[in-house]
Amino acid sequence: MDNEIWRWLWTGLAVVLAVGEIFTAGFFLLPFAVGGAIAAALAWANVAVAWQWIAFFVVSVATLLYLQRFIRKQDIADTKSIGANRYLNMSAVVLEQVDPVSGTGRVRVESEEWRATSDGDIIEPGTAVTITEVRGTRLVVRESAARS
């Protein structure tokens, strides 16, 4: 194939992959767009096709490995829970007796009041508790190790 065709193939590939990256998540297409751009630059410089392919693969893999550092950091980053799950493992104070049998009880966590239940015994008002689970609109609590 003529080098003129490779110029446009590599350029088109780089553009299509770069535009595709805009519409996808995870930086998967970006390394290949960069590799295609480098191969296109070599094609425009009249470098042999074999070297264009080698450059495409080497640059694509190197860029992919480089970007993985940032993606791993993003995945590992501590993301704050949303909704009621943000209260997991937090302390609360019992406002109304928590009775798991009758399904009654209220606790205050931060500045909010929530209905509560327990998997254990009845918990009396004023007791410090720890939130262990969220079931629907109820917080599941257990007595804290250090009582107040």
Express each pLDDT in 112-139 by its tens digit: 999 999 988 899 999 999 999 988 889 9
Q: Which residues contact 133 (CB under 8 A, 6 or more apart)?
A: 88, 139, 140
Query: Which residue ranges form the domains of the chain, and what is each CATH number?
Result: 3-76 (no CATH), 83-143 (2.40.50.140)
Q: How confident is the model at residue 81 (pLDDT cuts 50, 70, 90)?
A: low
Strands 91-99 and 128-135: antiparallel
Backbone angles phi, psi at 17, to 5 degrees: -70, -35
Q: How confident is the model at residue 79 (pLDDT cuts 50, 70, 90)?
A: low
- DSSP-based three-state secondary structure for 21: helix
Helix axes 49-76, 30-44, angle to 10 degrees: 160
How far is Cα 58 from Cα 86, in angstroms, rounded to an integer? 44
Q: Which residues contact 24 (CB under 8 A, 6 or more apart)?
A: none
Express each pLDDT in 10-68 by its tens digit: 999 999 999 999 998 778 899 999 999 999 999 999 999 999 999 999 999 999 999 88
Beta bridge mates, 142 = 130
Q: Two tokens at 31?
A: 């390394």
Backbone angles phi, psi at 144, to 5 degrees: -70, 155
Tally of CB atoms within 10 A around 20:
14
Q: How much is the pTM? A: 0.52
How far is Cα 89 from Cα 92, in angstroms, rounded to an integer? 10
